Each structure stands twice: as C-alpha cells, then as structure tokens.
A and B are shown apart, each in its own frame.
Chain A
C-alpha cells in the first residue's frame, strides 16, 4: 500500500503539481492555489462594499445585499457553479475557460460570506468608536475609512484566513465543470491507473490536509496574537463570536 502511494507520487508528481502545463492549461496544485488566491483577492474589496451596504440605513443599499447574503447562504455552491457555467458565457458572449467561471462564482460566494465577517468585525467594535470619530469631525465615510475599518479588519484577520481555507476547499467543486485543479488531476490519474483509487484519493486528501491544516494553524496563531494585543479592549461577546465562527468555518 505505502509503496503504491510512493510509486504514484514518483510517477505523477508533476501532473499533481502543475497539471498538463505547458502542453495544456495550468492545473494541479498550482491552479488550485492560484484560483483560491485570486478568488479571495477579488472577494475582499467586494465584501467590504457589501458589508458597508448592509450596515447602511438606506433600504436601497441594505435590502438587496441582505437578500444576496441570504441567497448565497441558502443555495448550495454547486448550484451557483452551475449557474455560473450557464450565465458567464452568456454574459460575455465568448467561450470562457471553466477556470474563469469558477473564479467568478467563488468571488460572488465568498464575497457574501466575507461580507458577514467584515460586518461582524464592525459590529463587534461597538458604537463608541463611530460616535467618537463623528464627534471629532469625521464624516460617516471618513470615520469608516480611518477609524472603524482599520480596527475591524485587523480584528477579523483570523476569520479571513478561515474563509481562505474554505475557498481552497471550495475549489474542489470545480470538479463538476472540469476546472483543471488538483482534484481534477487526481481523478485523471485515477482514470489512468484504474486499480488504485484508494491510494490516489488518499494522496489527494493528504495534500489538501497539509495545506489547510497549516493555514488553520496560522489562523489560530494570529488569533492568539490579536487577542493578546487587544487584551481588555475587545468586549467578550461569546455568542456573537460563536455565530461568526460558524459562518466562516464552513464544511465544503
């Protein structure tokens, strides 16, 4: 069993790492990581905009975004991917690579989840910060930009890392629309070997485990750092943080 696993890694490590690049699209682990990093990089500004809209008192900003958040929380990501697969080529009128479709879907999906995290960070700061900033002559947006968001975003860094971990796990769903990622590479290997599915998928699980576990450790360490740094200044809102943890820590 173990010798089989070593043999598979020896024979197919390049396919697992970069897919069929340069003879085909970039795939494997590289594609998984690039896809996740791009998704979270685009989702971050989107999520701040969504969070600000949800925090605003204007119903025209508030309601559509609340609806979007409930929509993304209530519909399986798989269904959103199918929508993306159908709508993105329709909207752009071109033959879009599945990688791009997946990226767009992930930005929408994780943007909505991340906006809840950002909103949670802002709410957890309390009213005092905003009131003090306003009293000092900041406009609403100025207070957000210079007082609220810098603190709130700093406090939610661990949750952002957790969302990044879920994004990595979510990229596996690209499998259904043939995004050439790590899972796709593993199933290609499985189709070539045919006789050793357990070994192939074991390697796949192990690779994901190593990446996500390390990132989770980073999140935990950062959380400890931030808590120590902010000791005494952040109110202990156990129920709120539990709810937040459940949002960011999604199985996928």
Chain B
C-alpha cells in the first residue's frame, strides 16, 4: 500500500472537477428538496388545521407513510416504480432533464415534508392556548393573533427540530446515489475506482460532508440566538 498522499487527488484537475460537480449536485438535490419539503410542510400544516375531518386524516396517512417507510425504499419506489408507470411523453421529457435528480428531489422532499410538518405542528402545540386567548382579548383578530403571537413562538419552539431535520435532509441527499444521481458520494466512488486512493478520497469527502453539516448546525444556532426574545429585549 502506498503512503498517505492527498495531493494525488487534490493535485489532479480531473478528480477536483469531479468533486466540484459532486458538491454542486449534492447542493442542487439538498436545496431543491428542502424547498419542496418546506412548502409542502406548510401546506400539510394548513390541512391539519382545516375544518372537516378529511384534511386531518389525509395528513395523518401522509406523515405515517413517509415516516415508517425507509427513505431509500421511497426513492426506489419513485425512480424504479412510479417512473415506469408514467405516460411516455413525460418519461421522455424527464429522461432529457436528469430524471434521477428530479426523482431524488421529489422523493427526499416529500419524505422530509412529513418531518417538517410534524416539527412545526409540535412547535405550535407547545404554545399555550392562553396566548391566543390573551391576544384575542387584547383586540387581535384570529389571523393577526396567529401572525404576531402564535406563529413566531411556534416556529421558535420548532427551530431545534427543524435544524436537526435539515441536517439529516442534507445527509440523506447521499441516498440519491442509489438511483444514480452524480452527487458527492457518487463522485467519491468514481474517484476511488480511478485512483485506488480509497483512504484519501473517503477522508476528503467525509470532511466535506462534516463541514457542510456543521455549517447548517451553526446557522441554526445563530438563527435560534437571533430569534431569542430575551436577547432581543436587551439593548
């Protein structure tokens, strides 16, 4: 075995460009599915509170499915299963537009939406109902009490959970490799195959993942600190 030498990888422009493409794809998948997940989570939360039994039942089933089936299986079902059931024109269009990445975004986004919506819901539930009553007594309308009293506190409660799940969404973007998306984990396997530098390439990508995850955690901690009312109240 040859000795440890990172320059074997970092000094080779071909490998570096593979890494950069991998990072780009990881971010495309992660940011795309985060956006989809958050949008859907808000819709699901709205459905939860919608009048009538139908919305609540739908969200319960949705959340239950996405939390109890492994994410990888959901991705496989989307890419190998549902993809083949689609009409031909859609299939052709998707194949022209990086179908793997699109299905990774859809699969991860739909799955994560279940977690985000539950985070937001438990955050909202932790706000005491007295807050709403007090706001109404002070003359707020329902909507404005929600906007100025309930939602800020609810989101603040949900923040730690949302950050944790955002980190795990970022980590789960690596699952996309199973359906052939050329993201960071895919890149490291390619580089390893070409260079036979297993240790160096794994180390490099592990550090990259770690740095990005820690950055998300740090950003979450910063937002939590900024949103802390005790800190904001001080001059």
Please say whether chains A and B are actual partners in one complex: yes
Q: Footprint of B on A, CB under 8 Å?
A: 70-71, 73-79, 82-83, 86, 165, 168-170, 172-173, 175-176, 183, 187, 190, 197-202, 204-205, 208-209, 212-213, 216, 238-239, 242-243, 245-247, 249-252
Do A243 and B177 contact each other (CB < 8 Å), given the known contacts A75-B210, A75-B213, A190-B80? no
- Give Cα A75 to B204, complex, Å: 12
CB distance from B169 to the nearest CB of A (A): 8
CB neighbours (8 Å) of B165 from chain A are 246, 251
Secondary structure at the A interface, as helix, strand, loop or mixed, is helix
Shortest Cβ distance from A176 into chain B, in angstroms?
A: 6
* Interchain Cβ contacts under 8 Å between A and B, 27 examples: A70-B214, A73-B213, A75-B209, A75-B213, A76-B174, A76-B185, A79-B202, A83-B202, A86-B198, A86-B199, A169-B69, A169-B71, A175-B72, A176-B178, A183-B70, A190-B80, A197-B80, A198-B82, A204-B73, A205-B69, A208-B73, A213-B68, A242-B161, A243-B160, A251-B71, A252-B70, A252-B168
Quote the shortest CB–CB distance from B215 to chain A (angstroms). Answer: 10
Closest A-B pairs by Cβ, 9 of them: A74-B213, A198-B81, A246-B161, A212-B68, A76-B174, A169-B70, A246-B164, A76-B171, A197-B80
For the complex, is B100 an interface residue (Cβ under 8 Å from A)?
no
CB distance from B82 to the nearest CB of A (A): 6
- Contact between chains at B171 and A242 (CB < 8 Å): no
Q: Which of A70, A176, A242, A252 contacts B122 (CB 8 A)?
A: A242
**A220, chain B: closest CB distance, angstroms:** 12
Closest to A204 in B: B73
Residues on A with C-beta less than 8 A from B117 are none
Beyond known contacts A73-B167, A75-B213, A246-B160: 12 more, CB 8 A cutoff? A76-B174, A78-B174, A78-B175, A79-B205, A169-B70, A200-B81, A212-B67, A239-B126, A239-B157, A242-B157, A247-B164, A251-B67
Q: Among the interface residues B69, B82, B165, which one has the most CB atoms of the partner chain A within 10 A?
A: B69
Q: In the assembly, what is the distance between CA of A244 and CA of B210, in Å?
A: 21
